[in-house]
Structure 1
Amino acid sequence: MNAPIALERAATVRGVMADARVTLDITRLLRRAAYATPSGIDRVELAYARALLALPDARFQAVLPGLGRMGYARAALASLVAQLERSWAEGVPLRAGIVAKAWAGLRAFPRTEPGAVRLIVSHQHLDRLDRHAARHGERLCVYLHDAIPAQFPEYARPGGAERHRRRLRNTARFADAILVNSHATARAVAPYLVEAGRQPQLLVAPLGIEPHWAVRTAAAAASPPYFLCVGTIEPRKNHLLLLHIWRAMAGRAPDATPRLVLAGRRGWENEQVLDLLDRCPALRGHVVETGRVGDAALAELIAGARAVLMPSFAEGFGLPVAEALAVGVP
């Protein structure tokens, strides 16, 4: 995600981000530091952290149970960002000692300055948000990535729909500005603003692509033909449709059927999909699961695919589509 472009767009929210001292919430980065691979939202928070580290007056914070709002040292964040970029590219988790050192960057939160902006670019603790952000004249800017659990509770984990509704309601009640990644997300958020009777500034700031995604290697282009589906194997992503298509193709012409590569971990409530993956003879040799893969391997998989397939029932943005188009993959 190209955060400098997103920050430039965010700065155009008049009176909220422009010429203000920004405090970025990096709670999610701390919580995800031990993970080997990032989610799309992880990538967004990492990109914003990298971009704001280039601004000398930016500050950083985390909100943690039992500790509340804590400051975070700039040098510790710079080190964490560099470490995460390497570990997530390779798909290898950080060593326990590095993770412990990252947590040691917490500090007492400095006094809030009037006119400062608190920026939250993940959904972290939005369900517990209150008017505290407005004390001492501080303003709040929130990035919402989707409203999917509230719109489509049938695809959410148990309890996830109501928790996300709280996030959306709190954002509508307390935020001075809201960033969203697409016009579709903006439309989904709008009813919550009407319900709250408020009109915070709403800006569509689409996600960008890191430069290393836009390189298609000769080796990737020469790979045996395969199609790629990227994302956690969960009902919303509609892997079931692809597996039925591949089973039909393999039944008609097994020797001419290309591979289907599924890049992503196994998620929840997937009995039918997992039964097909584990027990369907027709799919063996035609469907390959990679599990979690690092960003470098994922970029190679996307670049080498005949096409990236994304038959999701709902998406807030759909970053793999942009990543594929960046390298000319349908």
Structure 2
Amino acid sequence: MSTLFLDVTRLLMRLYDGLLPTGVDRVGLAYIQKYAPKARAILSERGFSTILTEQDSQHTFAQLLSSTRNRNAIRMLVARACLNRLREAKLCGILLHTSHNGMEFSRYYGAMTKRDIRPVFMVHDLIPLTHAEYCRPDVDTAHRRRIRTALKHASGLIANSQTTLDSLTAEAARANLSLPPTVVAHLASGVTPCPQAPRPIAAPYFVMLGTIEPRKNHWFMLHLWRRLVEQLGTAAPKLVIIGRRGWECENVIDMLERCEPLKGALIEEAHCSDEKLHAYLQHCQALLFPSFVEGYGMPLAEALSLKVPVLASDLAVFHEIADDIPDYLDPLDGPGWLSRIQAYAQPNNPERDAQLIRIERFREPTWTAHFERVDAFLETLR
């Protein structure tokens, strides 16, 4: 069997910086857990790449999967990788790259071709192309270059949803490029199963989960919560926002830090451990997911896998993952969200109880099913 290679650059740098894993990072870690015993690690920077020795690869994978962080060990691994660089060696295999980092550099693909390695990238979304208004300036240009370079040079592409693949197909048509071999493989929940945890908040509360950025619609939800507090006072349910502060979100930060009515009704968790996240989700009235656009929406799968109700935007990808189980609303329907939140905050609410019944038929995406699809896809490329 040909060797598998895993590009771990993003994961290693985020580990070195002490950052908690995002949804993209959790996918990368799942690939390491699956393939590490038979894989080699690749590090890259602006398209220049180096392949770690088998021994250093295993040390790197162990560091990434460890619950403790050893920055000195990471520094030494990177230094050795640079010193022991395997230049243009014919290694023969398949590269699995699960982040978007480096997709835009044609020299990266060229280096893999010289080594007889076939690059396969995962595409998480095309949001910067379809909804540039929700991204940082110039990200659309960079992402278009990533996607089009991958369309030209990748041996295969893995899409996390049919919605993402549809966007990818449309972009290939716009660029007059052929679509390389592709597969859709849904992502499993990023929450590790834990025992039932004590309730973290006595009062009823709701959870928003994800990086604070414009497309997640936090600003809208914070204004709804201000209205709830104005109407209900101290009887208003709490809102727990889990996720770090991202980009272009100054108006949200103003609400978080300066809105007097929200003080006491809002809990912000920028650095939340898996155990604490699990506890928050287990006992909340519902996960709130009012995004304008998503490529997948891992929090949706995470909540439903824990039997937690979800109030979500009416997006095609959410229907793809969860069918009719959540209660769906337009992301700008303020009265609708306000009414549903007030209802779900009540004990023994018929709407919430009905969703709890629907949740019993939720078919949770699993890593086993994901990798069965990926492995079958890779066999067609060998």
TM-score (norm 2): 0.73
Q: Distance in 2 between matches of 1:79 and 1:294?
A: 24
Distance 1:228 1:78, change over 3 A: farther
Consecutive unaligned residues of structure 1, counting only runs of 5 or more, are 1-18
Question: For residue 42 of structure 1, what is the aligned residue in structure 2?
Answer: 25
User: What is the count of residue pairs matched by the alignment?
Assistant: 302
Percent identity of equivalent pairs: 33
Q: Distance in 2 between matches of 1:126 and 1:26?
A: 13
- 1:328 Cα offset (Å): 0.6
Give 1:109's aligned amino acid.
L
Question: For residue 31 of structure 1, what is the aligned residue in structure 2?
Answer: 13
2:289 aligned counterpart, secondary structure? coil
TM-score (norm 1): 0.83
Give 1:193's aligned amino acid.
A
Question: For residue 98 of structure 1, what is the aligned residue in structure 2?
Answer: 73
1:213 aligned counterpart, secondary structure? coil
Question: For residue 70 of structure 1, what is the aligned residue in structure 2?
Answer: 50
2:208 aligned counterpart, secondary structure? strand
Cα deviation 1:199-254 (Å, max 9, x = unaligned):
311100111136x6334515148853211111111111100121111111110111
Q: Distance in 2 between matches of 1:196 and 1:109?
A: 36
Alignment of 1:108-147 (within 5 A): 108-109=85-86, 111-114=89-92, 116-130=93-107, 131-132=109-110, 133-135=112-114, 137-147=116-126
Consecutive unaligned residues of structure 2, counting only runs of 5 or more, are 310-382
Greater shift, 70-79 or 37-46, is seen at 70-79
Question: For residue 131 of structure 2, what is the aligned residue in structure 1?
Answer: 152
Question: For residue 183 of structure 1, what is the aligned residue in structure 2?
Answer: 162
Question: For residue 40 of structure 2, what is the aligned residue in structure 1?
Answer: 59
Question: For residue 250 of structure 1, what is the aligned residue in structure 2?
Answer: 229
Question: For residue 187 of structure 2, what is the aligned residue in structure 1?
Answer: 207
Alignment of 1:177-326 (within 5 A): 177-194=156-173, 195-209=175-189, 213-215=192-194, 217-220=196-199, 223-326=202-305
Q: Distance in 2 between matches of 1:271 and 1:305?
A: 27
Question: For residue 380 of structure 2, what is the aligned residue in structure 1?
Answer: none
Q: Distance in 2 between matches of 1:284 and 1:61?
A: 47
Greater shift, 195-204 or 161-170, is seen at 195-204
Distance 1:137 1:328, change over 3 A: same
* Residue pair 1:236, 1:314 contacting (<8 A) in 2 also: yes
Q: Distance in 2 between matches of 1:136 and 1:218?
A: 49
Q: Distance in 2 between matches of 1:318 and 1:81?
A: 26
2:5 aligned counterpart, secondary structure? strand
Q: Distance in 2 between matches of 1:118 and 1:80?
A: 16
Cα deviation 1:177-220 (Å, max 9, x = unaligned):
1101011111111123223431311100111136x633451514
Q: Distance in 2 between matches of 1:312 and 1:216?
A: 30
- 1:150 Cα offset (Å): 1.4
Give 1:154's aligned amino acid.
E
Give 2:42's aligned amino acid.
Q
Distance 1:102 1:304, change over 3 A: farther
Question: For residue 15 of structure 1, what is the aligned residue in structure 2?
Answer: none
* Residue pair 1:61, 1:109 contacting (<8 A) in 2 also: no
Give 1:302's aligned amino acid.
L
* Residue pair 2:200, 2:280 contacting (<8 A) in 1 also: no
Cα deviation 1:278-321 (Å, max 9, x = unaligned):
22121110011111222232222222322111111111111111
Cα deviation 1:83-102 (Å, max 9, x = unaligned):
44444xxxx8x343233234
2:241 aligned counterpart, secondary structure? strand
Greater shift, 130-139 or 290-299, is seen at 130-139
Give 1:134's aligned amino acid.
T
CA-based RMSD: 2.3
